[in-house]
Amino acid sequence: MVSLRDTFKKHTGFLRGLKLSYVINNLLNADKLKHNKALYKKYGVKKSIYAPIGSKDFGYSLAGGIPWLDVPGAAGMLPHNEDFKKFSSEEQQQILHFIENGFMILKGFYKNGEIEKLNAEVERLLKEQKTGFNYTGRKIMDAYRFSDIIKNGFFNNKRLLKLLDFIMGKKTIPFQTINFIKGSEQRAHSDSIHMTTQPPGHLIATWTALEQVHQGNGPLFYYPGSHRLPYITTQEYDSGNSYFFIGKNSNKKYEDKIAETIKEFGFQKKYFHADKGDVLIWHANLIHGGEAITQKGATRKSMVAHYFCEGVICYHEISQRPALIG
Ligand SMILES: O=C(O)CCC(=O)C(=O)O
């Protein structure tokens, strides 16, 4: 007999393409959208907070300002900034590196013992079926919801949040975590198409190595300097979106567009060959992805965390959904 769960699974592809399913989900999560009432007013968006939303609703407006470190000349101002002076000289160098390249690396940010605790937590949550892999088969979403160690030790880590708030020049809001056991093998993309803000660029992400990462187990890759490209939205490629539907191949076409852009600008691919406990922080618009796994059966335990900023509209440009926050 076909179970309800199987029927749902069979149709999730269709439901994910139907804007109405998100509207229903938005209504069911009204509490996580209520902050948008004031924000829509602030940014002049004249639509319901439950309705689909996308870059078309804003035009190309930068009203509200771009992040302070994206403003030309930011690097020259930093040495005079009192809060900047409080970071260690290694962190200061990395912040300057972030401005220029769109990413920074914090070697040994976490101790081995902390990482071992985190790995044990993820294993326990999987074993107890408190969490599992999402539809991609690779991503464990929001494990922090079931574990104080993941939430307080990593996602909301005070030292990390202080740094992120400084980089963004605004208070950051922890949004989601993604744990990987194997490499993602995800094509090159920028997070700004998946987690979008108005004004643009108010998202930041951290990537933590939970074991050693080398060329064989599908390292994270990235293109230094690509964060300076204009933000690519569904208006810059043929998304196939219509009034009722999200284009069936919108994500693939987006990734094709990014592949073309990398070629056109000649960006150089780099890999993050990390040690356990190293953290890489990337800019909302840095192009990155997961390299192919060439060592059969190799694991690549890692955790990504995404942070939005307070006071901006947060949404998902590909699926045209407002972000549920809280
Ligand atoms: O960890 C990876 O392989 C890539 C992760 C990624 O691209 C993302 O979370 O945006």
Domain ranges of the chain: 4-322
Q: How far is the CA of 187 from the centre of ligand 1 (A)?
A: 9
pLDDT at residue 296 tops 60: yes
CA 44–ligand 1 middle distance (angstroms): 33
Is residue 219 within 6 Å of ligand 1 at its C-beta? no
Closest alpha carbon to 307 in 323, 287, 288, 291 = 323
Identify the pLDDT of residue 4.
46
Q: How far is CA 161 from the centre of its chain?
A: 15
pLDDT score recorded for residue 273 = 98
Spacing of C-alpha 55 from chain mean position: 17
Nearest by Cα to 161 from 33, 316, 279: 279
Q: Which amino acid is at 178?
A: I
233: nearest Cα among 264, 269, 198: 198
CATH class of 4-322: mainly beta
Among 6-20, 218-232, 271-285, the minimum mean pLDDT is found in: 6-20
Percent of all residues in the chain with a pLDDT value above 90, rounded to a whole number: 92
Mean pLDDT of the chain: 94
Closest Cα to atom 10, ligand 1: which residue?
191
CB of residue 193 inside a 6 A radius of ligand 1: no
Mean pLDDT of the 158-170 span: 98
Pocket test for ligand 1, best of 181, 185, 203, 207 (most atoms within 8 A of CB): 207
Look at residue 17 in the predicted model and tell me its pLDDT: 87
pLDDT of residue 14: 77
Q: What is the pLDDT of residue 140?
A: 98
Distance 184 CA to ligand 1 centre (A): 6
In the reported structure, the alpha carbon of residue 270 is separated from the centroid of ligand 1 by a whole-number distance in angstroms of 14
For atom 3 of ligand 1, which residue has the closest CA? Answer: 290
Ligand 1 centroid to Cα of residue 284, in Å, is 12
Q: Which of 223, 260, 254 is nearest to 241 (CA)?
A: 254
pLDDT at 298 over 80: yes
Q: Is the pLDDT of residue 20 over 70?
A: yes
Q: Please, are residues 301 and 181 in contact by the beta-carbon 8 Å criterion? A: yes
Per-residue pLDDT averaged across 30-37, rounded?
A: 97
**How much distance in Å is there from the Cα of 304 to the middle of ligand 1?**
7
Residue 297 · residue 218 · CB < 8 Å: no
Checking if the pLDDT of 11 tops 70, the result is: no
Determine the atom of ligand 1 nearest the C-alpha atom of 189: 7
Q: Whose CA is nearest to atom 2 of ligand 1?
A: 290
Encode pLDDT of 104-144 as tens digits. 999 999 999 999 999 999 999 999 999 999 999 999 999 99
Q: Is 304 in the pocket of ligand 1 (CB under 6 A)?
A: yes
Which atom of ligand 1 lies nearest, measured to the CA of 185? 3
Ligand 1 centroid vs 16 CA: distance in angstroms? 21
The number of the ligand 1 atom at minimal distance from the alpha carbon of 139 is 9
Tens digits of residue pLDDT in 212-247: 999 999 999 999 999 999 999 999 999 999 999 999
In terms of Cα–Cα distance, which of 264, 274, 150, 270 is closest to 207? 274
Tokens coding 313? 């509209």
58-113 pLDDT, tens digit each? 876 777 789 999 999 999 999 999 999 999 999 999 999 999 999 999 999 999 99
